[in-house]
């Protein structure tokens, strides 16, 4: 059974539908006490980093996610959910994140981009896979769907995928049992469904 964390920050239905396509039993988790009962969890999210962290604290999910991470069971953050895994974000001020992966979230640097490059980064783009990671099994440099204005900076040892948009940025990460994807696998058709399937099949 997979748990989809519901903390009032969007895109839950599309994640749930993607799990349904894989014949995977999934349910929304609103009660932090229930999180430990799931074999793996997804932290989705659309919106502002600060609002998301406020909701995680107010709902009690912040502590529950930290406790879950210690179990060794797989968890994955998607889009904003990936950004929340890091130590901090500069989106609309300076905000502390979950701190499960070292690094920070910054705005795309326009000074490093062609003047015609638009922010947010929106649409289909390639993840250049850094190794033969289990999550990319059966895929090579897949096209996936992105919508974001901020991206993570982290230690290379955590990086399993990068994407070019004006410059190369980190688009997929992995540290121990914790995974993060900047694009939306649940909106990326077959390639995204394959990544979610690989996540469901991870051993722990």
φ, ψ for residue 70, nearest 5 deg:
-75, -15
Is the pTM value of this prediction over 0.85? yes
Q: What DSSP line would sit under 84-126, residue for residue?
A: HTSSEE-TTS-EE---SSS-EEEE--GGGS-TT--SSEEEEEE
Which residues carry out catalysis? 79, 184, 186
Tokens encoding 26:
């999934």
Tokens encoding 164:
């070019």
Strands 104-107 and 150-153: antiparallel
Classify 2-200 by CATH class.
alpha beta
Tens-of-pLDDT digits for all 204 residues of the chain?
899 999 988 778 888 888 888 888 899 999 999 999 999 999 998 889 999 999 999 999 999 999 999 999 999 999 999 999 999 999 999 999 999 999 999 999 999 998 889 999 999 999 998 767 788 999 989 999 999 999 999 999 999 999 999 999 999 999 999 999 999 988 899 999 999 999 999 887
Tokens encoding 78:
């998607």
φ, ψ for residue 153, nearest 5 deg:
-120, 125
Cα distance between residue 78 and residue 76, in whole Å: 7
Q: How far from the centroid of its chain's Cα atoms is residue 82's Cα?
A: 3
């Amino acid at each position: 059974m997979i748990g989809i964390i519901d903390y009032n920050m969007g895109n839950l239905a599309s994640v749930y539908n993607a799990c349904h396509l894989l014949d995977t039993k999934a349910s929304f988790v609103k009660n932090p006490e229930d999180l430990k009962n799931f074999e793996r969890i997804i932290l989705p999210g659309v919106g502002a980093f600060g609002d998301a962290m406020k909701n995680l604290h107010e709902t009690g999910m912040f502590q529950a996610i930290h406790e879950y991470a210690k179990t060794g069971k797989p968890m994955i953050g998607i889009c904003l959910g990936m950004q929340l895994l890091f130590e901090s974000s500069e989106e609309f001020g300076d905000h502390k994140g979950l701190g499960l992966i070292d690094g920070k979230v910054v705005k795309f640097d326009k000074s490093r981009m062609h003047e015609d490059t638009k922010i947010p980064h929106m649409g289909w783009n390639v993840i250049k896979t850094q190794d033969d990671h289990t999550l990319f099994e059966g895929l090579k440099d897949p096209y996936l769907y992105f919508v974001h204005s901020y991206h993570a900076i982290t230690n290379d040892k955590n990086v399993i995928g990068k994407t070019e948009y004006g410059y190369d940025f980190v688009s997929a990460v992995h540290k121990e049992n914790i995974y993060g994807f900047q694009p939306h696998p649940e909106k990326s058709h077959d390639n995204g469904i394959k990544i979610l399937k690989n996540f469901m099949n991870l051993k722990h």
